[in-house]
Amino acid sequence: MRAYRVVGQRVARIDAREKVTGHALYADDVILPGMLYGKVIRSPHAHARIVHIDAGAALRRRGVKAVVTGRDFPDVKFGFTKPTQDRRALPIDKVRYIGEGVAAVAATDKDLAAEAADLVRIDYEELPAVFDPEEAMKPGAPRLHEHAENNVSAICRFNFGDIEEAFRVADHVREDSFSTQAIMHGYLEPFAIVARYEVVTDRATLWAAKQSPYIIYRNLARGLGMKPSQLRIIQPHVGGGFGGKHEPFDLDFSAVMLSKMTGKPVKITCDMEEVFLSAYRRHPMRIRLAVAARRDGTLLGYRCRLIADGGAYAGVGHMSIYLAGAFLSLPFKVPNLRYDADRVYTNKPFSGALRGHGIPQMRFAAESQLDALGRDLGLDPLDIRMRNRVRQGDKLANGFVVTSCGLTESLELAAEAVDWTHTHGTLRRRGAKVRGIGLGCGSLSSGSRMGGHDASTAVIRVHEDGKVHLLHGSPDVGQGSNTVLAQILAEELGLTMDDIQTTLQDSDFLIFDPGTYGSRVTFTTGAAVRTAAAEIRRQLFEAVSKEIECAPGDLICKEGRIVVRGNEDRGVSFLHGVRLCYYKETKPLMAHGSATPAEFTAHFGDPKQLTSGYGNLSGSYSFTTQGSEVEVDLETGEISVLHFASAHDCGYPINPTLVEGQLDGSVAGGLGQALFENLETVDGLLLTPNFTDYGLPTSMESPQRSEHFHIETDDQFGPYGAKESGEGTQISTLPSIVNAIYDATGIWFRHLPITPDKVVKALQETYGANYLDHPFFNDPAARRRSGGADGRGNGRSRREERA
């Protein structure tokens, strides 16, 4: 039994007080003497050549200090990997989507900057544009980038096992098509940056709302023609990331360059509409998925064709389509896989990482198809999942290794929470409302190796007064990682939360992490904190052992004291130990530690590896099952989520309250994609450029009841056995809801979002105009017989074929 005192406890967030009292400093709160305000000028065209930019009238305005355009930057492109280096600080030749930054102005106040932006005259020559990825792949389609023939920006071609054989020997095959929409991250803090260029040192200091200062550091430096060491990045608090604040944007480059041009600090804060128009979003995906199975439901193989709408630039899109394919199998064991994916350029804002990164789209398809497969074969969705689930020690077709796995327990717990055995498939109708339940499973990597610098670093300094200070390289973007890391440190040194301080990141004081993405922080940075803490203990124990005459190896840290193991009366207070180091040994107490996922993972920074797809992505994988109950108003088509039960194996919850916050947040995010959100564009123009039109769900749309089950599998690599918990659960939310809607209505929705108008239309088309009177909604026996509207029509059983 574990006997932790701080780890595993529901301690309060260390930044809670600062945030709720409004004292936390965000990028837009930074005000420097002499600071100018910038404004980015954005393209009104989806595709156009930039003919001429005339800033004369703007510059003649009193108070306008500078205008920057693409020509003011070095002639370099940047990107995630070499083949995908397709972005510039600001474009010079042409614009590729409506909202793309073209130039920026700096003026003495914000209003003046906005007025000056209107005075900059940009002449464009409009070009034919393309918005549909399949159209864009056709010969003769408008080409976005010279280097990309047929507008293909990245591809994946996986082939594991023997797919032909799998389909040949299968008892049953079926093939279905799916599509998902573009959605936003929905962070409440828009993009903001303050940049201060210092002429004398030729360095720039930045305060920016980013979740990965390291990626910015590299790409920003490249786009600016500076060395990373010329940039100092001071991390303010961040108002949400969800994968959306990795890339450097027009405002970041412009602020630094405008500061360089004027010799003054420059602040640029976007409004939310600018974020909607210019930020990256989740990849819309079109998925054609064929499954081969045995009669008993054993999955033999998947053949998948995927086309991802990449928008105007590559970003990390190669990784996105890799991940969609990498999780074609997990959380289930499927021996034969064939995956062909193309990510295609279109004249829209580009697509990138968003909570679950590429995986939710694929699992929505695969797991809702699993229920359909069950219907074809007369198998219960729970049984078919149980039959194919992965277990600890499994090695998957694509090289994934499962080191710990609580999927079995999670399936059992989630099924029990929604009373699966008695409820699923039954008719539960009251008036115009019917209820249904669904299951969805998911799995996610706990950090991965993305190429370049991949290690996490922690620096611990112990003050003379006994307080311990932690500096580490992974920004807390609201998920609470600073609290978790402080818990780990307190536990390691036998202290309480009150003894730990943290400072937000500053690149002049420590080495940055790759950043807060891919659910890596607790897993990797947590390990770095433990390593550094062990070094602090070593130094302390050396000093204390001399004082009380024992072997350093006999000492432990416990409850604010350093004592002899097995004889805990013998020892000194932690503070006394610290003072022995400083005053007697005259050695300041300071240590650093680092950790890396490199030892157990393949290197996915290599484009070849991303394309062919083989290799273990992560040291550990989390597992989830979510059971949901929905209520569908058959007349209005509205869907309410009544109950959501998340049974989650995150190895070990270091802070159960924070883990539950992540689970609820994931559910809200998944529910938004399933039912509410859509970035709807017409000819590249976004019709939902604000939170009102976009329809982000509010607390009123969140599940009325939410349950959490923590499954402890004590992972061998994660700190205290912990694995990821930040985004994996968003993966199972989509299929869980989609399957519950099927249970309620007998309709399988394969195209997201499932808005009320689509529900009504589908009901009318499936059951006729008087659908409320249809036996499916009135006769429990009829419901069992029909097995729902998609029935057994789509799948083809080989036995039937032979007969």
Partner 1 sequence: MISPGVRHVRPREYQEACALLHERQAAPIAGGTELYLRMKQGVATPRSLVDLTDLPGMRQIERLADGTLRLGAAVTISALERSPLVAEAAPVLAEAAQRVGAPQIRNMGSLGGNLCQETMCWWYNRTALWRQAKEPCYKAGGSLCHVVDQEAVCYAAYRSDLAPILMSLEAELIVQGRQGERRMGIDELYSGDAAFPFTLAAGELISAVLVRPLGEGDVAAFAKHAHRRSIDYPLVSLAVAARGWTNGAAGRLRIVLGAVSGMPIRVPEAEALLEAAGAGERSVAEAAALVAKHAKPVRNVSFGAPAYRRHIAKVLARRLLGDLLARRRASSG
Q: Least distance from C-beta 697 to partner 1, angstroms?
A: 7
CA dihedral (552, 555, 556, 561) in degrees, to 10, reads -110
DSSP string, 129-179: ----HHHHTSTTSPPSSTT-GGGEEEEEEEEES-HHHHHHH-SEEEEEEEE
Q: Least distance from C-beta 285 to partner 1, angstroms?
A: 22
Q: For 63-88, what is the HEC assignment?
A: CEEEEEEHHHCCCCCECCCHHHCCEC
Q: CB nearer to partner 1: give 195 or 763.
A: 763
Does 775 bind partner 1 (CB under 8 A)? Our answer is no
Q: CB nearer to partner 1: give 407 or 671.
A: 671
Which residue(s) pair with 193 in the sheet? 208, 268
Q: Least distance from C-beta 635 to partner 1, angstroms?
A: 5
Q: CB nearer to partner 1: give 128 or 452.
A: 128
Tokens (6 digits) for 45: 């065209």
Among 123, 126, 693, 779, binds partner 1 (CB under 8 A): 693
**SS3 at position 753:** coil
Span from 266-274, 371-379, 439-447, 577-585 in contact with partner 1 (CB under 8 A): 266-274
Q: Least distance from C-beta 680 to partner 1, angstroms?
A: 7
Does 274 bind partner 1 (CB under 8 A)? Our answer is yes
Instruction: Tell which residue, 677, 733, 672, has the closest CA to residue 699.
Output: 672
Does 254 bind partner 1 (CB under 8 A)? Our answer is no
Does 190 bind partner 1 (CB under 8 A)? Our answer is no
Tokens (6 digits) for 231: 């940039």
Binding residues among 38-57 for partner 1 as defined by CB under 8 A? 42, 44-45
Binding residues among 343-402 for partner 1 as defined by CB under 8 A? none
Residue 22 burial by CB count (10 A; 0-12/13-18/19+): exposed, middle or buried? exposed
CA triple 76-226-251, angle to 5 deg: 75
Q: CB nearer to partner 1: give 124 or 512.
A: 124
Does 676 bind partner 1 (CB under 8 A)? Our answer is yes
Does 791 bind partner 1 (CB under 8 A)? Our answer is no
**SS3 at position 29:** helix
Q: What is the largest CA-CA distance in the chain?
A: 90
Q: Least distance from C-beta 276 to partner 1, angstroms?
A: 9
Q: Least distance from C-beta 186 to partner 1, angstroms?
A: 14
Instruction: Tell which residue, 193, 217, 189, 236, has the closest CA to residue 38.
Output: 193
Q: Least distance from C-beta 257 to partner 1, angstroms?
A: 21
Q: Least distance from C-beta 685 to partner 1, angstroms?
A: 5
List, as own/partner pairs, every contact residues 581-584 make where C-beta atoms lie below 8 angstroms and the sequence separation is at least 24, other chains included: 581/462, 581/539, 581/540, 581/543, 582/464, 584/543, 584/547
Q: CB nearer to partner 1: give 617 or 686.
A: 686
Span from 394-402, 650-658, 708-716, 751-759 in contact with partner 1 (CB under 8 A): 751-759
Does 695 bind partner 1 (CB under 8 A)? Our answer is yes
Q: CB nearer to partner 1: give 197 or 249.
A: 249
Q: Least distance from C-beta 734 to partner 1, angstroms?
A: 19
771 secondary structure, DSSP code: G
Among 79, 99, 248, 719, binds partner 1 (CB under 8 A): 99
The count of C-alpha atoms lying within 13 angstroms of the C-alpha of 227, restricted to the half-sphere facing its C-beta, is 4
Q: CB nearer to partner 1: give 190 or 637.
A: 637
Binding residues among 102-121 for partner 1 as defined by CB under 8 A? 111, 114-115, 118
Among 532, 755, 767, 776, binds partner 1 (CB under 8 A): 755
How many angstroms separate the CA atoms of 158 and 340, rounded? 7
Among 698, 704, 716, 778, binds partner 1 (CB under 8 A): 698
Q: CB nearer to partner 1: give 20 or 114.
A: 114
Query: How many Cβ atoms from other residues are within 10 Å of residue 206's Cβ?
Result: 27
**Angle separating helix axes 407-417 and 381-388, nearest 10 degrees:** 170
Q: CB nearer to partner 1: give 58 or 293.
A: 58
Tokens (6 digits) for 256: 């630094």
Q: For 180-221, what is the HEC assignment?
A: CCCCCCCCCCCCEEEEEEECCCCEEEEEECCCCHHHHHHHHH
Does 778 bind partner 1 (CB under 8 A)? Our answer is no
Does 773 bind partner 1 (CB under 8 A)? Our answer is no
Instruction: Judge whether 69 and 102 are in contact, CB under 8 Å.
Output: yes
Instruction: Judge whether 741 and 754 are in contact, CB under 8 Å.
Output: yes
Does 749 bind partner 1 (CB under 8 A)? Our answer is no
Number of residues lying near partner 1 (CB under 8 A): 36
Span from 156-164, 481-489, 521-529, 690-698 in contact with partner 1 (CB under 8 A): 690-698
Among 560, 756, 787, 791, binds partner 1 (CB under 8 A): 756
Does 687 bind partner 1 (CB under 8 A)? Our answer is yes
Q: CB nearer to partner 1: give 340 or 638.
A: 638
DSSP string, 542-590: HHHHHHHTS-GGGEEEETTEEEETTEEEEEEEHHHHHHIIIIIS----E
How many angstroms separate the CA atoms of 557 and 572, rounded? 10
Q: CB nearer to partner 1: give 78 or 749.
A: 749
Does 680 bind partner 1 (CB under 8 A)? Our answer is yes
Q: Is the dihedral of CA 105, 108, 109, 115 positive or negative?
A: negative
Does 697 bind partner 1 (CB under 8 A)? Our answer is yes
Among 73, 249, 694, 767, binds partner 1 (CB under 8 A): 694
Span from 175-183, 419-427, 488-496, 750-758 in contact with partner 1 (CB under 8 A): 750-758
DSSP string, 308-350: EEEETS-TTHHHHHHHHHHTTTTTB--SEEEEEEEEEE-SSPP
Q: Least distance from C-beta 348 to partner 1, angstroms?
A: 13
Binding residues among 700-739 for partner 1 as defined by CB under 8 A? 700-701
**Angle separating helix axes 756-767 and 728-745, nearest 10 degrees:** 40
Does 63 bind partner 1 (CB under 8 A)? Our answer is no
601 secondary structure, DSSP code: S
**SS3 at position 693:** helix
Instruction: Tell which residue, 81, 39, 330, 26, has the closest CA to residue 219.
Output: 81
Does 685 bind partner 1 (CB under 8 A)? Our answer is yes
Span from 71-79, 406-414, 608-616, 632-640 in contact with partner 1 (CB under 8 A): 632-640
**307 sits in which H/E element:** strand 299-311
Q: CB nearer to partner 1: give 200 or 700.
A: 700
Sheet harboring 192-198: ordered strands across? 64-69, 101-107, 36-42, 266-269, 192-198, 203-208, 231-234
Among 134, 198, 273, 340, binds partner 1 (CB under 8 A): 273
Say how far residue 717 (Cα) sits from the centre of its chain.
22
Q: Least distance from C-beta 53 to partner 1, angstroms?
A: 15
Does 760 bind partner 1 (CB under 8 A)? Our answer is yes
Among 21, 586, 692, 770, binds partner 1 (CB under 8 A): 692
How many angstroms separate the CA atoms of 212 and 241, rounded? 10
Does 689 bind partner 1 (CB under 8 A)? Our answer is yes
Q: Least distance from C-beta 298 to partner 1, angstroms?
A: 42
User: Which residues of the shown chain bind partner 1 in the complex (CB under 8 A)?
Assistant: 42, 44-45, 98-99, 111, 114-115, 118, 271, 273-274, 277, 635-637, 676, 680, 685-689, 692-695, 697-698, 700-701, 755-757, 760-761
